[in-house]
Amino acid sequence: MEQKLSRNPAAFIVVLASFTWNIALLIGVVLNAGFAHTRAAGGQYTEFPSGIRVLYVFQLALVICQVWIFKLIFHTVRVKPSWLPKFFFAISIVGVFLNALSKSAHERINVIPAAIITWAFWYYGIKKGK
């Protein structure tokens, strides 16, 4: 059975909103925006070091790739390589745990969008992909 956007637009919108939050936060770190200081990198910086900002550029590229792959799997387009949704599911689990273990209360809130994205890759990429 094919999954189409018209069948569950709420799930699609919630997952895209979660990705939007992640992208906004990553851009905030890269640009050293004030709102990101307590919400990323452990919430310990008043100014992000260059190394962390470069690392977040790579994370931004990865999340943009995740958005593209999620769009494909949601619309039942075959993803190549086929292990990519499983890989994104695995790294999403890591993201949930890293956010949950943060000393910053603001960063722990990031567990919510991270968990939504993790669920989306499991449900649409692994469970529905079988």
Q: Is 1 helix (H, G, I), strand (E, B) or coil?
A: coil
pLDDT confidence of residue 3 = 46
C-beta separation of 15 from 117 below 8 A: yes
10-residue block means of pLDDT along the chain (130 residues)? 59 95 97 94 92 97 96 89 93 92 92 95 82
pLDDT confidence of residue 43 = 87
Give me the residue label for tokens 């769009």: 71
pLDDT confidence of residue 128 = 74
At what angle are helices 50-74 and 111-120 packed, to 10 degrees?
Answer: 40
Handedness of CA 32, 34, 40, 44 (dihedral sign): positive
pLDDT confidence of residue 7 = 61
pLDDT confidence of residue 126 = 86
State the pTM of this model. 0.88
Q: Taking the CB of residue 84, how many other CB atoms lie within 10 A of it?
A: 17
Give me the residue label for tokens 């992909």: 129
Amino acid at 121: F
The helix (run of H) or strand (run of E) holding residue 59 is: helix 50-74
pLDDT confidence of residue 6 = 43
